[in-house]
Structure 1
């Protein structure tokens, strides 16, 4: 036994292979079962299977050995043989609920959640107070998005013990409350979980919950601690920048997002936020550069395209608006939200036919947008399309009956 344990700890596969045959002949079944569990613990799946196969030969009626070997076979990808073993466990055996739990795990991994739940419920009918089964039910409910039901079970288990099956229930409750948008409760459980263990995921989760509950200073503290613990936790930088932005500290928000870009230069959302923060700091050219980088990473990144086109329009860079629109079209991507910018740009560049074409396309989506209708109306007037302009003026009167300018404009047509 000692030689085998030493070989396992050293990762000496050749020595394990030499020892295993005599081990199965000379050691008692209890030691063989023990070494199989050690093999599983260290990831020696094939060796564990050899031991369980041997034990199954010795004790063909032993349900626990069949269950253990089935678990190993599933690890090896031999699901059919594993299922045959599990189906062979009689439903009156004391181990039958465990069999149902293993089957539930298998079906859950296959995405067959309803079948998995049926197996767990069947086991709970036999052992309704078994915490392991209740925990398995909660885990399944959590994975399938049934957060309220999952929380109820987790809370009941939490009253019994703070840790279950090696899982911190405070952490699990934090995760399920966060997933269900119960951020206040999530935050409290995250802080409790952090008293037990400080990990990057827990720090980020607590920061996210703090952000969602408008505790921006605390979110910043957690994220700064996270950066010290794991500087390559990329998600931290965007949330940190957003937290500074919510406190209207736009300079520090830009610093944070730039730091994130040094760590991850392939995240389009970082470039987009960097562009927005550069605009907040009146760094127009820098903002344009960040937005262009975001679009280079994803030519169909709608929000970045819209922000960049808005910047170009504000700065009256109408050729740039048209170039960006042509780029979008070349990528076989069209988006009506861009039309008002493009129509105005063609108008300003005196490409009136194209401007009219885009205004016409935009009308269906913007026929209740006063700003758009006003520009469209005056464009039609300048182009001599009086009847169409009159119809738009009439719409403006209906949308803003208290605005005298629309009545005056309509009277001019009359």
Structure 2
């Protein structure tokens, strides 16, 4: 048994006190090929300090064998000795057999440091040297994907897919449809998913497929994928928001409400689930559930205007004008959007405080004057508060937008006469 083998046996047997003596014997007595294998095994086992000594010994004995320098540099970079590691890599000449390996190690290092453009440049150099090497094609595709160079990444992923569906642990089919989605080509991504459903075994792939199907408007298929995700992992919190939205788009408020309430059980900070759930509850006539969801959502984020407006609408539908108004009175004027002014106007109108209502209608008017619903509401207010001139002006504007509304046309004729 060689000293290198004895050293590895000692490490695997947790006899670490013997390691230094055995390493010394191995360096003095074992053949270079055995030492090279020893250094690789030591690196794999995490004993990089010992591996560095072996590589340094080999480099001293074989100064022209650049591959040992590359392996040592990789360990130094991982150990935080960047200057020493990069010096070794940059000293590997372009005509060396190890130059390609040097470029790949440099690319990995620069990627880990977030220097994606530099990493990509190194990978491009490597690809020019070995254009048929799939590992290099994949590495370049990943860098392009990270850099949002999605057209380039897609071409590379599609090339790889002609020979394999997996690269290491990465599902290339998943990368293809994700890249199509990043390009905004949702219909193509959905079609690709439909053709490769059997390859989507990973839970993250199913989740991404569900999201893309939703973006493509294929809500039934989105529901199918997202249901699978939740069955496989009930605490996959992000799936609930998209599932609830898909049910909402399918006009299935019962399931939308159930998905929202279940999702909130895992993540009570998801403001979108409060909104979707409240809309579904209101549609089902479950006003108490809707109010509860909206109030809880506003406790999570008091500045969520969508939740506030929906709660105001709910209060107004129930004749609770004062409760509706109270949602806005503590806000600064700069924080009130046009819809908020409209809801405040409706609240004052119901309370027969017409001067305040008129002020709020006018504040909303500039932004909402092209909304037929708003104009109808303001016409109703003008009639109720006996403001005939305002009534006629609003009717003229409304009928330009909705000329076929016979009821409003008749009212306009009455006012003219």
Could you say what secondary structure the match of 1:373 adopts?
Answer: helix
2:347 aligns to what? 345
Matched, 1:361 2:367: no
Query: How far apart, in 2, do the equivalents of 1:66 and 1:54 lie?
Result: 11
1:320 aligns to what? 323
Query: How far apart, in 2, do the equivalents of 1:389 and 1:293 lie?
Result: 40
C-alpha distance 350-104 of structure 1, shift in aligned 2 (>3 A): farther
C-alpha distance 178-30 of structure 1, shift in aligned 2 (>3 A): farther
Displacement, 1:386? 5.9
Query: How far apart, in 2, do the equivalents of 1:354 and 1:45 lie?
Result: 77
Displacement, 1:142? 1.6
Query: How far apart, in 2, do the equivalents of 1:5 and 1:229 lie?
Result: 41
Structural mapping, 1:381-400, within 5 Å: 390-400=392-402
C-alpha distance 403-203 of structure 1, shift in aligned 2 (>3 A): closer
Could you say what secondary structure the match of 2:236 adopts?
Answer: coil
Could you say what secondary structure the match of 1:231 adopts?
Answer: coil
Q: Does the Cα contact within 8 Å between 1:39 and 1:48 map onto a contact in 2?
A: yes
C-alpha distance 228-390 of structure 1, shift in aligned 2 (>3 A): closer
Q: Does the Cα contact within 8 Å between 1:171 and 1:189 map onto a contact in 2?
A: no
Q: TM-score, normalised by structure 2?
A: 0.81
1:169 aligns to what? 172
Q: Deviations over 1:339-396 (max 9, x none)?
A: 2112211222244444333222212211211221233345456667665555434423
Of the three residues 175, 188, 199, the one matched with 1:193 is 199
Displacement, 1:5? 4.4
Displacement, 1:131? 2.2
2:88 aligns to what? 85
Query: How far apart, in 1, do the equivalents of 2:125 and 2:346 lie?
Result: 66
Could you say what secondary structure the match of 1:326 adopts?
Answer: coil
Of the three residues 94, 97, 101, the one matched with 1:94 is 97
C-alpha distance 16-333 of structure 1, shift in aligned 2 (>3 A): farther
Displacement, 1:204? 2.2
Could you say what secondary structure the match of 2:336 adopts?
Answer: coil
Matched, 1:261 2:267: no
1:26 aligns to what? 26
Of the three residues 92, 95, 119, the one matched with 1:116 is 119
Query: How far apart, in 2, do the equivalents of 1:327 and 1:49 lie?
Result: 67
Displacement, 1:298? 2.2
Displacement, 1:403? 4.6
Structural mapping, 1:131-150, within 5 Å: 131-150=134-153
Could you say what secondary structure the match of 1:290 adopts?
Answer: helix
* Worse-matched range after superposition: 37-46 or 248-257: 37-46
Displacement, 1:166? 4.8
Displacement, 1:218? 5.0
Matched, 1:183 2:189: yes
1:303 aligns to what? 306
Could you say what secondary structure the match of 2:344 adopts?
Answer: helix
Query: How far apart, in 2, do the equivalents of 1:20 and 1:354 lie?
Result: 88
Paired residues in the alignment total 407
Query: How far apart, in 1, do the equivalents of 2:156 and 2:339 lie?
Result: 46
C-alpha distance 105-249 of structure 1, shift in aligned 2 (>3 A): same
| Structure 1 segments unaligned to the other structure (5+ residues) | none
1:154 aligns to what? 157
| Structure 2 segments unaligned to the other structure (5+ residues) | none
Q: Does the Cα contact within 8 Å between 1:103 and 1:119 map onto a contact in 2?
A: yes
Query: How far apart, in 2, do the equivalents of 1:9 and 1:354 lie?
Result: 83
Q: Deviations over 1:116-155 (max 9, x none)?
A: 3333223333333332222222112222223332222212
2:234 aligns to what? 231
C-alpha distance 311-124 of structure 1, shift in aligned 2 (>3 A): same
Displacement, 1:17? 6.9
Q: Deviations over 1:68-124 (max 9, x none)?
A: 333333333443443333222222223223333333333334444333333322333
Q: TM-score, normalised by structure 1?
A: 0.81
